[in-house]
């Protein structure tokens, strides 16, 4: 048996030993085992009051595992059945041969009469799920699991929650490869003994589906890839100044006039389907309506609510991006509008999430000089109005039983007093994380210099003259190694680290649409997923080695491609076929 850990010296694995993100402890051998369609799968969800089954159940592969009827309750059994089905299909339909990680001339093994097959996979839930486990607050669900595969072909998963079982299933699939000529799949890593638990409870991606409207199936596709990397939060930045694609039945004019075109919208069904599709895989959607800035798309249906709309050509005095515009800060009409908006939206969010993001980034004070309810850019005038604006929104969120999330500016620039339940999402600097936790608030990380995946594409603004090389504000492109080097706990004292819930990578939509979303996110989001699940430091407290990570992430990239995700390559096969050829400077 060999362990990935304990090797104090620098080493290249002889063959990839899979598993991304890396488990807390992972011991494996090198014996070959096969798996095929008739593997017996049993599970026991325990005596969970929340569950509709008790004792051992034989998993039956049928259509109900494949097609979610979208209306029946999201029970642990429903979730597990669907994820077992998904894991089996991932293993047996992948056609993923790891030839790129073997010497030239290597061929996949083929089963023979004396091949050992995995006969059983058993899954056992050891403890009842907490209430609302499918839409928990950070830290409420124990996602840990153990996974053992014996040389004789018995596989056993144990976890304290249904979500833990689901995480373990993704690990299980990553042990296997498939000779495209064969129906069955194989591992060469038996016996396997894994214990795993996440470092951070909040592991997310923020996708901007407002500046460019991303089709539903592609959002679901990202959810698959996220869950496969054990990420558990999808932050949907669903409205912005440029377009308002989210249909609000109580305010139909919002999307009718504010969307780019009538078909570029998310209907209530779409919205529910995204949330449910995610929840089935243990991913919680956090919806953001960014305000009071980033709202000018409301102007198309409600011009009376927006100040400083589309000032041209000097829009940059009033906003970070065109079109300028902000919700008026001291307006009864805005208040009534938000009452209607929240009463419509909150009941459609609360079945699937415990959070709602009220935005609050990049609010431009100058815009309020043109706000007839304020007519000032003086912080002394604006600050109390902003406090009241945000308090009201947060009360609306709390009334629905949800916890508010805000961008860091609300706390750190506007000095708002926020209640303890508010999660503060940082993006501007590492110091922001420290400042947030010093104020006793829960923080999300995602420093734009590391985790904004849209950076480095160059300017999208049309600029006069020669600004060559036309770099964007957050250039250069953050490659996976840079994304991977980011430690969410940088400079956070031990006693405050529990307040860092985790973080999100961000993909803003100025230059990312359906065509390049896959490759803008993957595999770089996977690099962040390992930081968030496994931590940025290894067992010995050292920064994780990119050299060790590189072939594993290469393997994950191939697995994503096998799942149909257009993830970019990390290296040439030449590098990974003989693990030392592309090393330099060791």
Ligand X SMILES: *[C@@H]1O[C@H](CO)[C@@H](O)[C@H](O)[C@H]1NC(C)=O
Catalytic residue list? 362
Which residues are CB-contacts of 316 (< 8 A; sequence separation ≥ 6)? none
Instruction: Say whether residue 160 binds ligand X (CB under 6 A).
Output: yes
Shortest Å distance, C-beta 236 to ligand X: 28
Tell me the C-alpha distance between 361 and 380, whole Å. Answer: 19
Nearer to ligand X (CB atom), residue 146 or residue 393? 146
- Which one of residues 144, 239, 432, 534 is an interface residue with ligand X (CB under 6 A)? 144
The answer to whether residues 476 and 437 touch, using CB atoms and an 8 Å cutoff, is no
Q: Is 417 in the site for ligand X (CB under 6 A)?
A: no
Contacts of 216 (CB under 8 A, 6+ apart): 266, 270, 273, 274
Closer residue to ligand X in complex, CB, 158/184: 158
Q: Which of 114, 466, 468, 491 binds ligand X (CB under 6 A)?
A: 114
Q: How far apart are CA 219 and CA 234, in angstroms?
A: 10
- Window 219 to 248, contacts with ligand X (CB under 6 A): none
Secondary structure (3-state) at 137 = coil
Nearest distance, CB of residue 114 and ligand X, angstroms: 4
User: Using alpha carbons only, what angle is made at residue 232 by residues 339 and 411, rounded to the nearest 5 degrees?
Assistant: 50
- Span of 138-146, 179-187, 304-312, 354-362 interacting with ligand X by CB under 6 A: 138-146
Q: Rounded CA gap, 500 and 532, in Å?
A: 11
339 scored as a contact of ligand X (CB under 6 A): no
Q: Is 159 in the site for ligand X (CB under 6 A)?
A: yes
SS (H, E, C) 418-463: CCCCCEEECCCCHHHHHHHHHCCCEEEECCHHHHECCCCCCCCCCC
Residues in 510-569 that interact with ligand X by CB under 6 A: 543
Kindly state the smallest distance separating residue 519's Cβ from ligand X, in Å.
25
Residue of 107, 415, 417, 547 interacting with ligand X (CB under 6 A): 415
Site for ligand X in 23-82 (CB under 6 A): 32
* Residue 487 CB contacts under 8 Å (≥ 6 apart), including other chains: 531, 536, 537, 543
Return the bridge partners of 286, or none. 235
Q: Which is nearer to ligand X, 482 or 519 (CB)?
A: 482
Handedness of CA 63, 67, 68, 70 (dihedral sign): negative
Residue from 49, 112, 312, 540 in contact with ligand X (CB under 6 A):
112
- Closest CB to ligand X among residues 108, 513: 108
Q: Which of 182, 366, 373, 490 binds ligand X (CB under 6 A)?
A: 490
Q: Omega into 248 within 30° of 0, i.e. cis?
A: no
Do the beta carbons of residue 184 and residue 34 sit within 8 Å?
yes
**Contact with ligand X (CB under 6 A) among 249, 379, 440, 493:** 379
| CA atoms of 228 and 208, how far apart (whole Å) | 21
If one asks whether residue 383 binds ligand X (CB under 6 A), the answer comes out as yes
Query: Which span (157-165, 235-243, 266-274, 346-354) binds ligand X, by CB under 6 A?
Result: 157-165
How many residues belong to the site for ligand X (CB under 6 A)?
23
Token look-up 């190694």 returns 481
Q: What does DSSP assign to residue 246?
A: B
Answer for which of 146, 212, 239, 358 binds ligand X (CB under 6 A) is 146
CB of 176 to ligand X, least distance (A): 17
Query: Is 242 or 550 the residue whose CB approaches ligand X more closely?
Result: 550
- Interface with ligand X, residue 103, by CB under 6 A: yes
Interface with ligand X (CB under 6 A), residue from 145, 177, 389, 407:
145
Q: Within 13 Å of residue 296, how many CA atoms lie on the same side as its CB? A: 20
What percent helix, strand, coil does the chain show, rounded to 5? 35, 15, 50
Residues interacting with ligand X, by CB under 6 A? 32, 103, 112, 114, 126, 142, 144-146, 158-160, 379, 383, 413-415, 485, 487, 490, 543, 578, 580
């Amino acid at each position: 048996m060999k362990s990935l850990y304990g090797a104090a010296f620098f080493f290249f694995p002889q063959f990839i030993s899979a598993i991304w993100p890396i488990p807390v402890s992972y011991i494996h051998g090198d014996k070959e085992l096969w798996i095929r369609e008739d593997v017996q799968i049993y599970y026991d969800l325990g005596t969970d009051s929340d569950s509709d089954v008790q004792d051992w159940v034989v998993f039956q592969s049928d259509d109900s595992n494949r097609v979610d009827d979208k209306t029946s309750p999201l029970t642990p059994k429903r979730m597990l059945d669907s994820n077992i089905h998904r894991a089996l299909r991932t293993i047996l339909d992948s056609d993923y041969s790891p030839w790129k990680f073997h010497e030239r001339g290597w061929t996949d093994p083929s089963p023979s009469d004396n091949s050992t097959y995995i006969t059983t996979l058993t899954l056992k839930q050891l403890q009842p799920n907490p209430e609302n486990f499918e839409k928990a607050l950070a830290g409420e669900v124990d996602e840990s699991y153990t996974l053992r595969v014996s040389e004789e072909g018995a596989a056993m998963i144990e976890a304290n929650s249904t979500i833990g079982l689901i995480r373990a299933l993704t690990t299980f699939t990553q042990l296997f490869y498939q000779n495209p000529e064969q129906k069955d799949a194989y591992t060469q890593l038996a016996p396997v003994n894994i214990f795993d638990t996440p470092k951070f409870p909040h592991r997310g991606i923020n996708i901007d589906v407002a500046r460019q409207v991303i089709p539903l199936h592609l959002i679901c596709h990202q959810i698959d890839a996220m869950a496969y990397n054990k990420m558990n939060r999808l932050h949907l930045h669903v409205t912005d100044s440029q377009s308002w694609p989210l249909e609000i039945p109580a305010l139909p004019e919002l999307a009718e006039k504010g969307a780019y075109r009538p078909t570029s919208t998310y209907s209530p069904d779409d919205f529910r389907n995204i949330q449910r599709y995610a929840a089935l895989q243990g991913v919680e959607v956090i919806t953001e309506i960014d305000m009071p800035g980033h709202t000018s798309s409301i102007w198309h249906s409600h011009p009376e609510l927006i100040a400083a709309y589309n000032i041209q050509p000097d829009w940059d005095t009033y906003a970070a991006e065109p079109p300028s515009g902000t919700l008026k800060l001291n307006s009864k009409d805005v208040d009534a509008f938000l009452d209607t908006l929240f009463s419509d939206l909150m009941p459609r969010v609360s079945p699937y999430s415990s959070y709602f993001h009220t935005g609050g980034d990049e609010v431009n004070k100058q815009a309020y000089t043109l706000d007839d309810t304020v007519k000032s850019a003086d912080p002394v005038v604006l600050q109390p109005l902003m406090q009241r604006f945000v308090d009201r929104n947060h009360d609306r969120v709390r009334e629905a039983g949800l916890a508010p999330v805000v961008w860091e500016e609300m706390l750190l620039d506007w000095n708002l007093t926020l209640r303890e339940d508010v999660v503060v999402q940082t993006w501007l600097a590492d110091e922001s994380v420290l400042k947030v936790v010093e104020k006793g608030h829960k923080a999300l990380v995602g420093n734009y210099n590391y985790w904004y995946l849209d950076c480095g594409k160059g300017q999208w603004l049309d600029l006069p003259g020669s600004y060559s090389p036309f770099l964007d504000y957050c250039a250069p492109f953050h490659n996976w190694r840079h994304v991977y080097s980011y430690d969410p706990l940088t400079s956070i004292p031990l006693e405050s680290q529990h307040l860092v819930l985790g973080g999100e990578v961000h993909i803003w939509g100025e230059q990312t649409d359906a065509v390049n979303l896959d490759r803008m996110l993957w595999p770089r989001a996977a690099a962040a997923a390992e930081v968030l699940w496994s931590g940025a430091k290894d067992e010995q407290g050292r920064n994780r080695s990119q050299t060790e990570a590189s072939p594993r992430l290469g393997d994950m990239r191939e697995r994503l491609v096998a799942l149909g995700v257009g993830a970019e390559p990390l290296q040439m096969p030449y590098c990974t076929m003989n693990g030392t050829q592309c090393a330099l400077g060791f």
